[in-house]
Amino acid sequence: MSAATISAPPAGRSAEGRIGLRANLRHIGALVRRNALQIKQDPESMFDALLMPVIFTLLFVYVFGGAISGKGNQHEYVNYVVPGLMAMMGMNIAQAVGSGINDDFKKGVMDRFRTMPIARSSVLIAKIVVEIGRMLLATSILLGMGFALGLTIHTSVLHLLAAVLLALVFGASLMWIFILLGLTMKTAQAVQGIGMLVLMPLQFGSSIFAPTSTMPGWLEAFTKANPLSNLADASRALINGGAVAHSVWITLAWTVGITAVTAPLAVAKFRNKSA
């Protein structure tokens, strides 16, 4: 994509030399289109979003389902694990964002963007918008697999949509963490390695796969503080019914807190990164 395509005309800037809101939104839209075209040219990059929900759902339902719900009763476990996997989808896709940002820098793509008269944040926001689209696709496939295996909505379609939206906004906040990692680490492999060190304890030390009541006291305390547990519990309550307000507000607080801390750091790192 040429510089002329996304560069703002002089009228798009404010008197202080800053890029105006309309110009910024136009740049984000152009960059979203550029990222989407990249996916079209490289369809293999969608394999994680397309296959991960299918593999994870089948794996956990038929590996853990019998142990938790009893042999032959795996369908009862579906309503427990699928809402939890919605939280897991966001974190796994967020990790890919950091690796992609790091790889783009190695290829010189980001250096080219930084020479253009566009807001630095627009490059990163456009990346997140496209990844939210991938996350929505992965969540839709996950729910489709859940319905095929017996998932039942005990509340309403609006509650289901609220659970999906909550998972999306929380996943978007996690992307800022991995973008910051991608801008900080020297290689994409390092981003993936650090990401796994973060992912594994958060995912398995949570209420995503099993109730926390059977865990040791110290681990149960960790799971209660784990934001993925709050998101899983909130999604589960929205789909299955039950008290939901506390988990939703805690998840939203984590979302705002993570974004408020990591987004400015990521934009500043992007602005100052030299290689």
Q: Is 197 exposed, middle or buried (0-12, 13-18, 19+ CB in 10 A)?
A: exposed
Residue that is written with structure tokens 């305390």 in the block:
221
Averaged confidence pLDDT in the chain? 83
Are 27 and 118 within 8 A, CB to CB?
Answer: yes
Separation of alpha carbons 212 and 122, rounded Å: 40
User: Tokens standing for 145?
Assistant: 């697999």
Per-domain boundaries in the chain: 15-272
For 110-157, write each residue's pLDDT tens digit. Answer: 767 767 767 777 888 888 998 899 899 999 999 999 999 989 999 999
Model pTM? Answer: 0.83
Alpha carbons 259 and 119: distance in angstroms, whole number: 18
CB proximity list for 191: less than 8 A, separation 6 or greater: 95, 98, 99, 102, 178, 181, 182, 185
Ordered per-residue pLDDT tens for the chain, 275 residues: 444 444 444 444 433 346 677 777 887 888 888 878 877 777 777 777 888 889 888 888 888 777 776 666 677 789 999 998 988 888 888 888 888 888 877 777 776 776 776 777 788 888 899 889 989 999 999 999 999 998 999 999 999 999 999 999 999 999 999 999 988 888 888 888 888 888 888 888 888 888 888 888 888 889 888 999 999 999 999 999 888 889 999 999 999 999 999 999 998 888 877 55
What's the alpha-carbon Rg for the chain, to the nearest Å? 20
